[in-house]
Amino acid sequence: MRSSAAQTSRSASLFAALGDETRLRLVVRLSGGGALSIASLTEGLPVTRQGITKHLQVMEHAGLVRNHRRGRESLWQLDQRRLTDARKYLDLISKQWDDALARLKRFVEE
């Protein structure tokens, strides 16, 4: 099973979406399960509402969050599938690593 270039590229943008402190804090908040409005997500963070909006859009492009409108509010929630994708990718890398070490060990012990 090879990790294709497309796969790598997609994963990179996913990790990039997680690789910003503000965004990661948003993810943590959203991991509570609820769908939160932009205004409520902005609360407590040292960034403008517009800034938060941009971050949410970045995450949306990475497939990390979805949003739907309810009245005048824009509600955002996590899409856990992408989170799972990220975990799987890391699992894959770790597995290759472990396998390589196992092979090395067998080789040395012969």
Binding site for a copy of itself (CB under 8 A): 3, 8-9, 11-21, 23-25, 27-28, 31-34, 78, 80, 83-84, 86-87, 90-91, 93-94, 96-97, 99-101, 103-104
Q: Is 87 exposed, middle or buried (0-12, 13-18, 19+ CB in 10 A)?
A: exposed
Q: What, of a copy of itself, DNA, none, does residue 38 touch, CB below 5 to 8 Å by kind?
A: DNA
With binding defined as CB under 7 A, does residue 38 bind DNA? yes
User: Quick check: 62 and 52 in contact, CB under 8 A?
Assistant: no
Structure tokens belonging to residue 50:
């517009």
